[in-house]
Structure 1
Amino acid sequence: MSDLIDTFIARGDLAHLALLLWAGAASFALWFALRELAAAARRFDDFVRELEAFNRRAGPPWRACDPARHTSNRTIR
Structure 2
Amino acid sequence: MPDLINEFAMRGDLAHLALFLWATSATALTWFALRELAAASRRFDDFVRELARFNERFQNRSGGL
Query: Can you give the 5+ residue segments of structure 2 that lack an aligned partner in the other structure?
Result: none
**Larger Cα-atom Rg:** 1
- Which residue of structure 1 lines up, in the alignment, with residue 29 of structure 2? 29
- Which residue of structure 2 lines up, in the alignment, with residue 14 of structure 1? 14
Which runs of 4 or more aligned residues in structure 1 lie more than 6 Å from their structure 2 counterparts after TM superposition?
none
Greater share of residues in helix: 2
- Which residue of structure 2 lines up, in the alignment, with residue 38 of structure 1? 38
- Which residue of structure 1 lines up, in the alignment, with residue 55 of structure 2? 55
Q: Which residue identity is paired with 1:16?
A: H
CA drift at 1:61: 8.3
The residue matched to 1:59 in structure 2 has which SS?
helix
| Structure 1 vs Structure 2 CA RMSD | 1.9
Alignment coverage as a number of residue pairs: 65
Aligned-residue identity in percent: 63
Report which stretch shifted further, 12-21 or 51-60: 51-60
Of structures 1 and 2, the one with the larger relative CO (CA 8 A, separation 6+) is 2
Query: Can you give the 5+ residue segments of structure 1 that lack an aligned partner in the other structure?
Result: 66-77
In the superposition, the TM-score normalised over structure 1's length comes to 0.76
